[in-house]
Structure 1
Amino acid sequence: MSIDISPPKEKAQKAYPENKQLFERLKRKKPKNLDDTFHALHEEVFEQIECLDCANCCKTTSPIFYERDIERLAKFLKIRPSEFIEKYLHIDEDNDYVLNVAPCPFLDSENYCTVYEARPTACREYPHTDRKRMVQILDLTLKNIEICPAVFWIVERMKERY
C-alpha cells in the first residue's frame, strides 16, 4: 500500500471533527492497549514513510527549545548560548523559546538536518506517536495530524480500531 506523504493540512482539517471526537472518547475511556496500538501503527506507517521525503515538520513549525537544547546546539555550533538565542530564537506566547523563522534554518535543500547530532529534544521525539501514556498527549497528536503525514495515517488507522 502506498501512503500519500503530501502535507496533510487540508485532509486533517476535513477530518478534524471525527478525529476530535475519537480523541475525546479515548481520553474518557483510557483503553489499556492505547499505547500498544499507537506504537504498532507507528511502526507500520513508518515502514512506508521516509521522513526525509517530507520534512514538513521542519518546514512549517518550530520545536520548543529547552535550556539543555540551547546549550547543546550552541556548543555544536561553537557559539555562546546567548548568541544562539539572539541569532535563532524568540519567546512565543506560551513563554517558550522557538525558532524565529520557518523553515528551520538548519534544514538543508535535501531535507537533512545540519545539526542532527545536536538537534532539540522535541525534534528527536517527533512526532511523539511512539511515546508512553499517549492518552496524555492526544491534544498534541490532534495538532500534529495537520503537520505530519505519518501522524495523519496513524490516526486514520486508529479510527478502524476504535
Structure 2
Amino acid sequence: MIPLELNIEKIEQIGDLKGNENLRFRTFLKGQDSTKVDGIVHRLNEEIESRIDCTKCGNCCKTLRPCVTNNEIETLTKIDKVSREFYIENFIERDDLENIKYLKNTPCKYLSDKKCSIYEYRPIDCKSYPHINKKHFNSRTLSMLVNYRICPIVFNVMENLKMEFDFR
C-alpha cells in the first residue's frame, strides 16, 4: 500500500522545496507516451483517491475559485434566494478573454467547516476536481503543479508517479 502524506502544511512546504524538481518532472512527462502516463496516473489516482476523504480537507475550497456555468449560477441564485443580477454582481468574476465565469472569493462562500454546504449542487468544476482522471495528463501538468501544493490527492499521485518513472 502506498504511504500517503495528508498534512496540508507539510505538502505546501514540500511544494516550495520541490518547485524546480517538479518543473523538471513536468518537462520529463511531456516527452513520455501519453497513453502510458494516463494508465499509471489513473491507477495511482484510483488507489490514492479512495483513501482520502476530501470532506476532511477542503483546501481546494479555501484556495481555488471554480468555474461556473450559466445553469449553475441559476441554481446558486435559488439556493441563496437572490436575483441573478445580484448574484453575478456580488459573487461572480468574468474572464471575458476566455469567456469563463468564476466564483469570486476565496475561501468559497459555501465552505463550512472544511465541507461544502451545497455539496449536492456544487459546480461541475468542483465535482471533477482535482481533474486527475481526465485523459492527457502530461498535457495538463502545469495545472497539476499548481494543484500539487493544494490537494493531497495530486501531491501523492505526483510523488508516486515520480517513483514509477524512477525520476530523480
The normalised TM-score by structure 2 is 0.83
Kindly provide the CA deviation profile for residues 62-108 of structure 1, in whole angstroms up to 9, marking residues without a partner as x: 11223232123224444333222123122359664333322111011
Q: Which of residues 11, 21, 25 in structure 2 aligns to 1:22?
A: 25
Q: Distance in 2 between matches of 1:92 and 1:146?
A: 24
What is residue 5 of structure 1 aligned with on the other side? 7
Cα gap change, 1:31/1:98 in structure 2, threshold over 3 Å: closer, same or farther?
closer
SS at match of 1:132: coil
What is residue 56 of structure 2 aligned with on the other side? 53
Q: What value does the CA root-mean-square deviation take over the aligned residues?
A: 2.1
Confirm whether residue 124 of structure 1 aligns to residue 136 of structure 2: no
Confirm whether residue 149 of structure 1 aligns to residue 152 of structure 2: yes
In the alignment, structure 2 segments of 5+ residues that lack a partner are: none
Q: Distance in 1 between matches of 2:32 and 2:43?
A: 20
Q: How do 1:1-150 residues align onto structure 2 when only pairs under 5 Å count? A: 1-7=3-9, 8-91=11-94, 96-109=100-113, 111-150=114-153
Residues 3, 49 of structure 1: 8 Å contact kept: no
SS at match of 2:18: helix
Name which of structure 1's ranges 53-62 and 133-142 shifts more when overlaid on structure 2.
133-142
Higher strand proportion: 2
Q: Distance in 2 between matches of 1:94 and 1:45?
A: 36
SS at match of 2:102: strand
Name which of structure 1's ranges 43-52 and 92-101 shifts more when overlaid on structure 2.
92-101
- What is the identity, as a one-letter code, of the residue corresponding to 2:50? E
Residues 5, 150 of structure 1: 8 Å contact kept: no
SS at match of 2:141: helix
Q: Distance in 1 between matches of 2:124 and 2:60?
A: 14
- What is the identity, as a one-letter code, of the residue corresponding to 1:63? P
In the alignment, structure 1 segments of 5+ residues that lack a partner are: none
C-alpha displacement of 1:129: 0.9
In the alignment of these two chains, the number of paired residues is 161
Cα gap change, 1:65/1:23 in structure 2, threshold over 3 Å: closer, same or farther?
same
